[in-house]
Amino acid sequence: MKINETISTELVNQCNVPWKIAYLQTATHFSFLVFCERNRDDVDWSISTTIHASLNSSDGKYFSEVFTATYGNRKEGYGVKEFISMKDLREKLLINDEVVLEIKFEIHEMTGIDTPPTLKNFDDNEAKEMSDVTLLVDDRRFYVSKLTLAQQSTYFRSLIFGNFKESKESEITLKDIDLDAFQVYLEILYLEQALTDSCIEDVLKLSQMYDSKNVTRVCENFLLRESNLSTKKKLQIGCHFDLKELKKSCLESLKTAADVRACMGCRGLGNGINDPEVLRSLVEKMLSFMRLK
Range picked from 17-31, 37-51, 254-268 for highest mean pLDDT: 17-31
Report whether CATH 3.40.1410.10 matches the domain 125-291.
no
How high is the pLDDT of residue 185? 96
Q: Where are the domains of the chain?
A: 5-111, 125-291
How high is the pLDDT of residue 293? 60
How high is the pLDDT of residue 38? 80
Q: How many whole angstroms separate alpha carbon 69 and alpha carbon 24?
A: 20
Count Cβ atoms below 10 Å from residue 118 Cβ, excluding itself. Answer: 14
Top pLDDT among 23 and 265 is at 23
Q: How many whole angstroms separate alpha carbon 56 and alpha carbon 262?
A: 7
How high is the pLDDT of residue 74? 74
Q: How many H helices and E strands in the chain?
A: 11, 11
How high is the pLDDT of residue 42? 62
pLDDT tens-place string over residues 185-236: 999 999 999 998 888 999 999 999 999 999 999 999 999 999 988 898 899 9
Pairing mode, strands 133-137 and 171-173: parallel
pLDDT bucket at 117, cuts 50 / 70 / 90: confident
**Neighbour-count burial of 125, counting CB atoms closer than 10 A to its CB (0-12 exposed, 13-18 middle, 19+ buried):** exposed
Whether residue 252 has pLDDT greater than 80: yes
Whether residue 272 has pLDDT greater than 70: no
Tell me what the pLDDT averaged over the chain comes to.
88
Top pLDDT among 157 and 273 is at 157
Fold designation for 5-111: 2.60.210
Distance of CA 38 to CAs 13, 54, 147, Å? 10, 25, 41
Question: Mean pLDDT throughout 37-46?
Answer: 76
How high is the pLDDT of residue 131? 93
pLDDT tens-place string over residues 42-76: 678 889 999 999 998 877 888 999 999 999 887 77
**pTM of the model as a whole:** 0.73
How high is the pLDDT of residue 21? 93
Work out the percent of the chain whose per-residue pLDDT is above 90. Answer: 52
H runs (alpha helix) in the chain: 86-88, 125-130, 146-152, 154-161, 179-189, 200-209, 213-225, 231-240, 244-252, 257-264, 276-291
How high is the pLDDT of residue 95? 82
Whether residue 111 has pLDDT greater than 90: no
pLDDT tens-place string over residues 125-182: 999 999 999 999 988 999 999 999 999 999 999 999 988 888 888 899 999 898 889 9
235 three-state secondary structure: helix
How high is the pLDDT of residue 66? 93
Query: Residue 69 forms beta bridges with which residues?
Result: 49
Whether residue 287 has pLDDT greater than 90: no
Rg (CA), the chain: 23
Give CA 44 to chain center in angstroms. Answer: 26
How high is the pLDDT of residue 14? 77
Whether residue 266 has pLDDT greater than 70: no
